[in-house]
Structure 1
């Protein structure tokens, strides 16, 4: 039973879902001091019986509160209230002194922006305390990154992605685009090649912008429900040195490249003396089957593998890694030393601490629980309107639509304060199909519920009326 001072009322006429109502009430009780730190909450079964609701409702509410950092799940013991600073209380003012009402903030369903668990923030603080206990680095750092971090990254890739590599083949970067820049720089020294980067269309516009900035031209390759269409690489210039792909969760369509097509891509690279630049930007988040083998594992001599922490700890940290053939690593390291492009030692030490202490894995597991729930909710709401891509992975789902319908739906949502990107935003040349992209990483549960209700209304008006 709940503490005698705490009562919970479930209102089935309330516009909020039952899990949201329950989570809101417990959250308020913790903030108001009705539930004290280290208090044990009832089991999901006991509370569901007490309130006359389904056990799944209580489980979802608890999962949300655990994900937000309000509750501490203890194996074999239950859920306990975490010690959290009280929310500040505002001072009451007279109506005449109040500021004019603000325009409600817009809700953006832009993909690729993560939610960072509160527990990850705590772990990040602990990691920096570890960093602060060591003397500041006096010498210039290793241009490839510290050996300890590269060793930890090699271990992470082996157990999380089945990618077998060594510290000597790893370079620490500031993120995927930095890794792409380093790879193109290393390839640019060959005078016998065309400076052409084959790129998915729709695809990651920042990758195309980086290639253009480096003086490379971009060759668009279409994608379908299985990712980049390898056969279309035959239309690329004969000496195209590289192709940039996101095979585990194609950005932005969400397609998964199956093993047969991955092998075909590896064969194309070998036959054409080309490199595959594999951006594995959000592979930590799979909610069903385990991820497929990386292309880098299938063709290590022909692949540059890129990873990043931007989808787990946040884009502002600016840390990632690349795995490349040793000849490229040596060339990249020499160039970085020559121009002073050296990775920050303190940031590397903090990341090493998180990997060593298991905090990285805990942060990923916590975020994965939240994203799994949102992934299923979005899929359930949108499945009746057409083909969905990207379900079961990542931080976004795509609903394939006619381009005109996608624009109409996005426009309708925008008038009600919800920004829904279309695939056209990531398209450089005409494609056969369009669609809308539903990113669910950075919004709150209430914002997502509201945004999906607006989106469903717009879809019904555009497709079913």
Structure 2
């Protein structure tokens, strides 16, 4: 048995068994520390990086162990509070998880969340009334898995005009959003591996992992390092080229070209997630990658950010050779996207109401972003920013080994944030450092100034010069 002293805010004594895997040994040691009472409920655990360094094990081993213990109910994470020992109502066993109610934060600054108060209710209702009154009777029969032709025609015009997508309505397939589109693709290309950016949304990664392995590809300030695709041994590449999530970097033109070359030479498919493509502030709009090769790029978009996550309407622009197979997977009728929502969105796009709404929200979000950036420059100038020229969130770069502390402190004052580590692929060696993602779209107009003030107060406390002073 190896006895290790871990010092990262708390003194934690762990006995790690020498036989078996490091992950199993760490999990057993942490469970024992909880059940014995040595780790009290609410105790904040060391960060992935700190614990991995002190135990001389891989950071991914710590991350995977924490995730496993969260799923079992031993630990609790997210909501801006770091990773802590769960507040347990009873003793936890390895098969018993504790259900916990969702805690509503005082200030919700989690990324990727639009302003719910910005949903255009009156415009939506008017469009819905027009659409329903004008729809043919057959529209209210069993849903077409292809999607309503009214919406596909409107989307074809809109995407060509605003995103440079090359498409005719026949190659648009309506879906409920990225997750459904990804699930359909995994049924077509079930062998994997799927090449994913080394940082991205975990629940998107989980969809692909159900069908096969995922292989991370490094990212940097120019987006995904597509020159490293040969190392991924994949035939499907998933990208966020317009606005890489979470870092916000657009994919460099040379790397777009390299990705297309890879797809052509390896009979590959590029899945383009047009994340936040409509919300750009300071840079020339970046066109869709699909226009470079419509036969090698499958484009996915949705109304979840522009309108509301509650409007479950998305779309795929499908290469010709995949169209029949995708429709076959969807089945004989549409099971997820309501016809009235499709008709209403089609009316909004065709009437110009959708464009007007997007422009209004773009202006609002830009003002909010500017307020956050100005406050950081004034009160926390040591905090860097990334990805602020587009999207609904900013990456705030932090001093080394402060990410967990910032999340914990933010949770104490009622701020919900996400740390960069949450989005890191568990199998990557790529590490872009400590940081948090601050969403500036979701808070109400009345609470946003207070949210910024509270956040900047937390970040200002990480200034090393301030601590020394």
* 1:175 match: 177
Matched, 1:235 2:231: yes
Work out whether 1:219 is the aligned partner of 2:215.
yes
Change (3 A) 1:402 1:308: same
Alignment of 1:50-449 (within 5 A): 106-116=106-116, 120-133=120-133, 134=135, 135=137, 137-188=139-190, 194-213=191-210, 215-237=211-233, 240-338=234-332, 341=335, 343-383=337-377, 384-402=381-399, 404-429=401-426, 431-432=430-431, 433-449=433-449
4+ residue runs of structure 1 moved beyond 4 angstroms?
116-119, 338-343
State the 1:120 CA deviation.
Answer: 1.5
8 Å contact kept, 1:399–1:436: yes
Q: Secondary structure at the match of 1:315?
A: coil
Using the TM superposition, give the Cα deviation of residue 323 of structure 1 relative to its aligned residue in structure 2, in angstroms.
0.7
Gap regions ≥5 residues in structure 1: 1-102, 189-193
Deviation at 1:308, TM superposition (A): 0.3
Give the Å deviation of 1:342.
Answer: 6.6
3-state SS of paired residue (2:364) = helix
Instruction: Give the conservation status (yes or no) of the 8 Å contact 2:196–2:215.
Output: yes
Q: Distance in 1 between matches of 2:337 and 2:457?
A: 48
Are the equivalent residues in 1 in contact too, given 2:244–2:275 (CA < 8 A)? no
The whole-number CA distance in structure 1 between the counterparts of 2:363 and 2:140 is 42
For residues 310 and 340 of structure 1, the distance between their equivalents in structure 2, rounded to whole angstroms, comes to 19
Give the conservation status (yes or no) of the 8 Å contact 1:196–1:242.
yes
CA separation of 1:402 and 1:274: change in aligned 2, threshold 3 A:
farther
Q: Distance in 2 between matches of 1:347 and 1:251?
A: 27
Counterpart position of 2:99: none
SS at match of 1:312: coil
Cα distance in 2 for partners of 1:410, 1:136 equals 52
Corresponding position of 1:455: 455
Gaps of 5+ in 2: 1-102
Aligned to 1:96: none
Aligned residues: 355
**Residues 448 and 343 of structure 1: is their aligned pair in 2 closer, same or farther, counting only changes over 3 Å?**
closer
Look up the match of 2:47: none
Give the aligned partner of residue 76 of structure 1.
none
- What is the Cα deviation at residue 112 of structure 1? 0.9
1:115-148 Cα deviation digits (max 9, x unpaired): 1565711111112212442447454333211222
| Counterpart-to-counterpart distance in 1, 2:237 and 2:313 | 23
* Higher deviation after alignment, 115-124 or 438-447: 115-124
Greater mean alpha carbon deviation, residues 399-408 or residues 372-381:
399-408
User: Within 2, Cα distance between the matches of 1:342 and 1:401?
Assistant: 41
Q: CA deviation at 1:219?
A: 0.9
Q: What TM-score comes out, normalization by structure 1 length?
A: 0.72
- Distance change in 2, residues 1:195/1:341 (3 Å): farther
- Is this contact kept in 1: 2:117–2:444, CA < 8 A? no
Distance 2:172 2:132 in 1: 26
TM score, norm. by length of structure 2? 0.71
Distance between the aligned counterparts of 2:315 and 2:124, measured in 1? 19
Deviation at 1:365, TM superposition (A): 1.1
CA deviations on 1:138-190 (whole Å, 9 max, x unpaired) are: 543332112221111011111111112111221111111111222232333xx
- Give the deviation of 1:420 after TM superposition: 2.0
Is the contact between residue 112 and residue 393 of structure 2 (CA under 8 Å) also seen in structure 1? yes
Contact 1:117–1:367 under 8 Å retained in 2: no
The CA RMSD over aligned residues, in Å, is 2.2
The aligned residue for residue 68 of structure 2 is: none
Structure 1 counterpart SS, 2:194: strand
- Distance in 1 between the 2:146 and 2:313 partners? 13
Contact between 1:142 and 1:342, CA under 8 Å: does it hold in 2? Answer: no
